[in-house]
Amino acid sequence: MFQFIFDTLIRSVDLALIAVALSAVYSLIKFPNVALVQYAVVGAFVAMSLHAAGLPILLAGLLAALFVGLLAVLFNVLIFERLLKVDSAIALIGSLALSMILSAVFLLTYGPTAYRFKLEVTPAMRILGARITDHQITTLVVTAISLGLFALVLFRTSLGREMRATATNGVLAAATGIDTRRVTNVVVFLSGMLAALGGITLAMRGSVSIDLGTNMLLPVFAAAILGGLGNALGAVVGAIVIAAAETVVTNTNVGPLVGADFYFLPASYAPVASFAILVIFLLFRPRGLFVSEVSRV
């Protein structure tokens, strides 16, 4: 039981940071930026390169996150602001095109090989019967601190009030003197950092390849939609639900159903759970579990 809970938490870490980044951006610029999942890959590769060059892993991760945040702002200013003046659907297509371009850049730069941080391998600990590694604990702590700081900014600062006002009604927020363009770019910067940290935490526990963005796209979108697309912190709950469903799929012994004592589905079947939950919620509760910040007045 405790192993299942811990496995769910670890999978939630994989999804939560990127899903929160996706929802935060959507609340302001009103289109799902597919390229955000590729920002996670950029963060992972940059952090691994800096770490391989001799920087401590925490410093390498912080610098990589800052770099991706600035890169996200650059893409927003040069590409998405212009496309959004035409139509949000055009911006969505543009984000898909940018995602494919980034994948091609990864392939040319790093090749198809999977990479990982060169970290010391330590024996797993046992806590309440669950096997836990120190790298898993580190990623849990990093995720909790990152989400806590984001929530603090969102609900306890003047910038957070401007962010929520802009998400609710951008025209009215601008009329009251809020620089909505500045607020949007700040949110894009923070979202880029969160997505990068999501990729870095993945790389700390395993290998990362150029396929990471593609593999994460469906579960991240499912988590964001489940939590209420546009509700950044609701995406955390969505990530936990998706993670629990995927863990059930891969940790359930289906041997008796196929005439064997033990048979567990491979991890490649986990996205089936994400897809099933996504379809169900799109049919019966398309706005997700929580009210979207975008539609709240």
Do 10 and 239 meet the contact criterion of CB atoms below 8 Å apart? no
Q: Which residue type sits at 190?
A: L
Q: In the structure, what pLDDT confidence band is assigned to residue 261 with cuts at 50, 70 and 90?
A: low
Q: Give percent of the chain with pLDDT exceeding 70.
A: 91
Residue 89: Cβ within 10 Å count? 10
Strands 125-127 and 130-132: antiparallel
Do 197 and 20 meet the contact criterion of CB atoms below 8 Å apart? no
Of 16, 34, 189, 195, nearest to 102 by C-alpha is 34
Token pair 């951006």 is found at 25
Instruction: State mean pLDDT over 171-184.
Output: 87
- pLDDT higher than threshold 50 for residue 192: yes
Q: Say which residue, 279 or 18, is predicted with more confidence.
A: 18
Nearest 5°: CA angle at 64, between 140 and 184? 90
Q: What is the dihedral of CA 232, 198, 38, 115, to 10 degrees?
A: -170
C-alpha span between 43 and 66 (Å, rounded): 9
DSSP 115: B
Do 12 and 239 meet the contact criterion of CB atoms below 8 Å apart? yes
- pLDDT higher than threshold 70 for residue 279: yes
User: b/e map of 233-242 (b: 16 or more CB within 10 Å)?
Assistant: bbbbbbbbbb
pTM: 0.86
DSSP assignment string, 190-240: HHHHHHHHHHHHHHHHS-B-TTHHHHHHHHHHHHHHHH-TT-TTHHHHHHH
Q: Would you kindly state where each structural domain of the chain is located, as residue ranges?
A: 2-211
C-alpha span between 17 and 192 (Å, rounded): 10
C-alpha span between 118 and 108 (Å, rounded): 22
Instruction: State mean pLDDT over 67-73.
Output: 95
pLDDT score of 264:
66
Mind listing the pLDDT tens digit for each residue in 234-245?
888 888 888 888
Mind listing the pLDDT tens digit for each residue in 43-56?
999 999 999 898 99
- pLDDT higher than threshold 50 for residue 293: no
Q: Please name the residues in contact with 201: beta carbons below 8 A apart, sequence gap of 6 or more.
A: 13, 14, 17, 139, 142, 143
Q: Which residue type sits at 200?
A: I
